[in-house]
Amino acid sequence: MDPNKPSSEELDIFKLSPEEVYSNLGTSKDGISEAEAKKRLGIYGLNQIEEVKQKPLIFKFLENFYNILALLLWAASVLAFIAGIFQLGFAIIGVIVINAIFSFWQEYEAEKATEALKKILPSTAKVIREGKESKILASSLVPGDIIVLEEGDNISADSRLVEAFQLKVDNSTLTGESRPVRKESEGMSGENHSFLEMHNLVFAGTSVAAGSGKAVVFATGAKTEFNKIATLTQAVKEVQSPLQKEINKLARMIAAIAILMGFTLFIVNVFVIDFPLELAFIFAIGLTVANVPEGLLPTVTLALAASAKKMVSKNALIKKLSSVETLGSTTIICTDKTGTLTKNEMTVRKIWIPCEIVEVTGAGYTSQGKFLHKGQEIGYDEMKELKLLMRTSAFCNDAKLIPPKKEGGKWKILGDPTEASLLVAAAKSGFNLEEEIKKIPRIIELPFDSKRKSMSSIHQKEDKKVAYIKGAPKKIISLSSYISQNGKIRPFSDEEKEKIVKKHDELASQGLRILAMAYRDLPHDFTDYTPETVEKDMIFLGMMAMQDPPRPEVHDAVEQCHKAGIRIIMITGDYGLTARAIAEEIGIISGPCEIVKGKELTEMSDDEVGQLLKSGCDVIFARAIPEHKLRIASILEDEDEIVAMTGDGVNDAPALRKADIGISMGITGTDVAKEASDMVLTDDNFASIVEAIKQGRTIYENIRKFITYIFAHETAEIIPFVLMVLFKIPLPITVMQILAIDLGTDTLPALALGVGPSEADVMDRPPRSRKERLLNLGVILRGYIFLGLIEAALVMSGYFWILSSGGWQLGQSLPFSDPLYIKATTMVFVGIVTAQIGNLLGCQTSRTSTFKIGVFKNRWIPMGIAFEVAVVLSIVYIPYLQSIFNTTALGINEWLYVVTFIPIMFFADELRKYIMRKRN
């Protein structure tokens, strides 16, 4: 085979006859030789997923050593070594390493979509080479190889069928459709079919559901449709989450402030106060370190990890920590219908036979339920049309019901859920399929075809043959020439057909999916089994209307979304009227609604779609395919929306990667979809998405709370340096004590705030704007100014109290080793920690009173306080730590003094919240 020849698509391989396929692909019925296979392998390469080169993990780890905060700390460390303060220099390096490890934790949860794609491809394939059948590694397949297909086999490469015997292929990994597709080997025109829909082509990553066949490989490795999806999935670039962007902006802001203040202090100390250069260095480093919240990145990471763990109990598995917060910013949810908004348990609800309605009770796939006609229970054999309808629905069917292994267990199905619901309905009516099929065996099946929208099952009944047909109502009605009513067969007029079509639309508008049934008696010598000869002049029997009922909890979840200002867009492959009825039932839409069919969407430009989405009207995308999801996600993101997208198939993966939050289904989803997503729903339930959004909003608010908490002591650490310069007092706190607070006492309490419960109104506010800053004016005023200045005033009062009680006077210098100075700095250190306990209790809420939610409702709060107390007592009373942090033991009077800081800080913030509530 010449590699310079046109590709298989350019050759229109689907148009060729089997004999022409052999010729065009350079092979024969005996296959190619081993020598030729080796030669082609050199030309086309291995049959495996082509990976886009990713950045090595080691580089991702090293990146954490040169972000803006890390560079600032490196500079402080270098200055410490220059000044000869080696202990401080090594301590700051330790901070950098700790931050790098915690930050890398997020990166380590990297994408594994390619690995999941590889797992789907089989490791071996059956081929015919040199006239002999053998097994080879799937990676060794080359164009021109003949592969042998049998039931249960995975398909290893894109191939053109040359033989097919009742062959059905499961294309769900590529198309998302669970119904097995009938395949044939004859050539076809290709009109009105996409490449994936060609009935004589099979594709890598799919599997044989039934039958057998042979196919000639025409595309391997990078050229397969499967690999195109893989490449597209990997090509979608990673973008930073809103929180990551905010943290980076915050880091740059803090760095600028720290550098400016450190440099200013150094200049003032050297040229104004005339400090020795070494001492000026120490103070500049101290102020720089005081401005850097060293514990911020580890605390954010730990808080996100704890929140992700909490969300597992809410049936939402978060794969990327930053996604937790992104969920809270979500403005639009693009959701599937089946299985996400509904139970994915198709159930027949109504049966229409000419001029009569039969109600069906029960739900799910168990046979518990009744047939009710005018309120009275009936069986399938009490009406001729009903009996024939049940026979048609059960005979014209490829699904199977699997009973539970244990009593009380759940029934499962094999095959299409719609067909399974027909079997269940037949069982409820009393129809015994096994006995009936023995008496009236199947001769041949004309499988469902999406073009003709029907399926026929031909059976031998005594001395005649009968074709039982089911399909799309409008199609079946148009092909029927007769109608059966009250046991009598009469001509089917056009006027009556129009009335029944209206009845169909009426049922569809109730959220019901509808199939029509008909039959036709065939001559005993009939042999021309084609759709054209079988499916005509039929006798119309009636329609069966089924529903996949909405999940009961979804209605409340949708209502929460509306209250939270989140828009919901349904993207479904279902019929438009059915989708609309479900959307109305669960509250997604309540007024006018635009239903856009897949074909219409394809013909619309991006600008037209964008205008439609911006118009504010409710939109449902019906008869959509997974490729439409990627396009919709791209258009919405261009409009600056934060999009959560659901999906479960392989070809949903690009859309899941493109969306801000890709949400895959844990039960029905493919491995590829799960790996491409940011979140996996372990129960496939829309309500779990809303719970996750609530948690996402909560974590953002909680991050603000612990930033407020951290900034309060940042002010209390900075003010001593300012006072030192203004009033020439001894430095009230040492750099090592600052590090002890930032990375020691404050870490666990800040984390406790990060995993706190939601406030009552968290879902009563619109989504946060992309432009809204994490560090906004409210956080600055509350943390840096209000709480920070109160805390600074308290600790400085303790500092001056100790110094004055020891005889110190303003303007007097004290050496760092002076016991009075050590005691005074210890008082400041302990004062900041105790003030932070009161701050911790108050920062649990932003607006509501802490008493309303419970001061200790968050079980991490008492643990955080106990941790703070343990650390500060260790530093103050353990001799070894005293020497490192320049502290000394305090007496009972000093402790009584600083303990008052707790209620002062707490009630000060409670007063602020009370005033805010009154003003609002």
Distance CA 347, CA 361 (A): 9
Q: Shortest CA distance to 703 belongs to which of 300, 103, 334?
A: 300
Residue 368: left if φ>0, alpha if ψ -120 to 50, beta else—which one?
Answer: beta
Amino acid identity at 263: F
Active site (annotated) includes residue 336: yes
| Element housing 459 (H / E) | strand 454-461
**Strands of the sheet with 332-335, listed across from one edge:** 316-318, 679-681, 661-665, 643-647, 332-335, 567-571, 618-622, 593-597
DSSP string, 505-553: HHHHTTT-EEEEEEEEEE-TT-----HHHHSSSEEEEEEEEEE-PBPTT
User: HEC string of 205-252?
Assistant: CCEEEEEEEEEEEEECHHHCHHHHHHHHHHHCCCCCCHHHHHHHHHHH
Q: What is the helix, strand, coil percentage profile of the chain, to 5?
A: 50, 20, 30
Find all residues with CB under 8 Å of 307, minimum gap 6, and list them.
318, 324, 695, 698, 699, 702, 754, 755
**What values do phi and psi take at 886, rounded to 5?**
60, 50
Residues 904, 797 contacting (CB under 8 angstroms) = no
Hunting for tokens 């894109």 — which residue is that? Answer: 158
DSSP string, 355-410: TEEEEE---TTSS---EEETTEEE-GGGSHHHHHHHHHHHHS---EEE--SSTT--
Retrieve residue 813's tokens. 């210098």
- Active-site annotation holder among 145, 153, 170, 336: 336
Burial 815-847 (b: 16+ CB within 10 A, else e): eeeeebbbbbbbbbbbbbbbbbbbbbbbbbbbe
Q: CB burial class (10 A; 0-12, 13-18, 19+) of residue 425?
A: buried
Distance CA 539, CA 533 (A): 15
Hunting for tokens 């590709």 — which residue is that? Answer: 7
Find all residues with CB under 8 Å of 770, minimum gap 6, and list them.
242, 329, 640, 642
Q: Which are the catalytic amino acids?
A: 336
